[in-house]
Chains A and B, each alone.
Chain A
Amino acid sequence: MAPSSTAAQLSARTDVSVEGRYVWHGISRAAGLVAQPSLALGLRVHRVSLEGGAVLHYELDAATAGELSETGAGGRHLGEADLWGRAMFVLGPTRLHAGIARYVFRGDSTQGGLGPARNTTEVFASLSTTSRYLNPTLEAWWDVGRVRGAYLQASLDLPVLGWPFPPYAFVFVQGEMGLNVGQGPNPARPGELANFATRGITHVGLGLGTEVRAGHLFGIGSTTLAFGARSQLNTDDATKFDGPGRSRDFVVWLWTGVTIVLGGDARSVQ
Chain B
Amino acid sequence: MSRRAVLFWATALLLVGCGPTRLHVPGTLSPAPQPGRETLLRAGFARVDITPPPGVGLAGNGPEGAEARGYRLRLYARVLVLADGGGNRVALVVADLGLSSTLLHRRVAALTARTDGIGVDRLVIAVTHTHAGPGHYFEAAGYNDAGSSVLGYDPVMVDSLTARIARAVHAAVADLRPARVAWGSRAVWGETRIRSLPAILRNIPLPTAPPDAPAGLPQEYGLVDPELAMLRVDLRDPTSGAFRPAGGFSIFAMHGTGNAPSNDLLDPDIQGLVERRLERHIDEDLNRVTDGGFVPRAVYLFANGAEGDVSPAWPPQSRCNVPTLVPLPALAGPFTRSLWEWRSPTATHLASCRHAAREAITVIAKSVGDGAVALFDALGAGAASTDRLELGRAFATLALRDSARALGICSEPALGLSTLVGADDAHTRIQGWLLFGLFDVGLKQGSPNPDVPGCQAQKRQLFDAAFGGLANHLFVSGSLPSSAQVTVLRLGSRVIGAVPAEVTTTAGRRMREQMLASAREAGLPVTSALILGHANGYMEYVTTAEEYSAQYYEGGSTIYGPGEAAMFGRTLARLAASVSAGDSLPATAAPPLDLVVGHQRHVVPRRSASRVPPPRIERVWCSGDTLYAWLQLGGAAEWPVATGDVAAHARVEIVVDDATRTVVSWDDDPALEMRLRSRRAGLAWWELRWSGARGRTHRVRIPGGTESDPVRCAVP
Interface residues of A (CB under 8 A from B): 1-3, 11-13, 15, 17, 36, 38, 40-42, 51, 53, 55, 82, 84, 86, 88, 90, 93, 95, 99, 101, 124, 128, 130, 132-135, 157-160, 162, 164-166, 168, 170, 172-174, 209, 211, 213, 224, 226, 257, 259, 261, 264-266, 268-270
Contacts and interface: CB of A to CB of B under 8 A. Distances in A.
In this complex, the interface size class of chain B, counting residues with CB under 8 Å from chain A, is 35 or more
A160 B335 contact: no
Contacts of A224: 339
Interface string B310-341: 00000000000001111111110111111111
A42 B330 contact: yes
B600 to A, nearest CB: 16
B623 interface: yes
A177 B15 CA distance: 45
A86 B436 contact: no
Given A130-B326, A159-B340, A51 B151 contact: no
B509 interface: no
Contacts of B338: 135, 157
Report which residue of B324, B341, B428 has the largest number of chain A beta carbons within 10 angstroms of its beta carbon: B341
A36 B436 CA distance: 30
Ranked nearest first, the 9 interchain pairs of A and B with the lowest CB-CB distance are: A133-B437, A164-B63, A13-B331, A270-B342, A170-B340, A55-B335, A130-B326, A40-B331, A162-B325
Contacts of A3: 619, 630
B62 interface: yes
B62 to A, nearest CB: 7
Interface in B324-367: 324-331, 333-344
Contacts, number: 123
B568 interface: no
Contacts of A264: 330-331
B63 A165 contact: yes
Contacts of A166: 149, 151
Interface string B50-71: 0000000000001100000000
B431 to A, nearest CB: 11
Contact of B339 (A55, A84, A162, A261): A261
B462 to A, nearest CB: 11
Nearest to A131: B326
B331 A11 contact: yes
B430 interface: yes
Contacts of B145: 165
A164 B334 contact: no
Given A84-B335, A264-B331, A265-B330, 16 more contacts: A1-B621, A11-B331, A53-B333, A95-B329, A132-B325, A157-B338, A159-B326, A170-B340, A211-B339, A211-B340, A213-B341, A224-B339, A265-B328, A268-B344, A270-B341, A270-B343
Interface string B626-649: 001010000000000000000000
A257 to B, nearest CB: 8
Contacts of A11: 330-331
Interface in B375-434: 428-430, 434
Contacts of A266: 328, 330
A164 B339 contact: no
Contact of B336 (A38, A88, A168): A38
A158 B437 contact: yes
6 contacts: A51-B333, A134-B437, A162-B340, A211-B339, A224-B339, A269-B341
B540 to A, nearest CB: 18
B435 interface: yes
B495 interface: no
B81 to A, nearest CB: 40
B339 A86 contact: no
B146 interface: yes
Contacts of A53: 331, 333, 335
Nearest to A44: B330
Report which residue of B331, B435, B621 has the largest number of chain A beta carbons within 10 angstroms of its beta carbon: B331
A162 B325 CA distance: 7
Contacts of A265: 328-330
A224 B325 CA distance: 15
Contact of A164 (B330, B344, B429, B437): B429
Contacts of A84: 333-335
Given A162-B325, A259-B336, A168 B342 contact: yes
A135 B336 CA distance: 16
A2 B329 CA distance: 30
A160 B327 CA distance: 13
Contacts of B335: 36, 38, 53, 55, 82, 84, 101
Nearest to B429: A164
Nearest to B432: A132
Contact of B331 (A12, A36, A170): A12
Contacts of B343: 270
Interface in B424-456: 428-430, 434-437
Contacts of B326: 93, 130, 135, 159
Contact of B330 (A130, A168, A257, A261): A261
Contact of A172 (B340, B434, B623, B628): B340
A159 B325 contact: yes
A256 to B, nearest CB: 11
Nearest to B145: A165
Contacts of B628: 2
Nearest to B630: A3
Report which residue of A93, A164, A170 has the largest number of chain B beta carbons within 10 angstroms of its beta carbon: A164
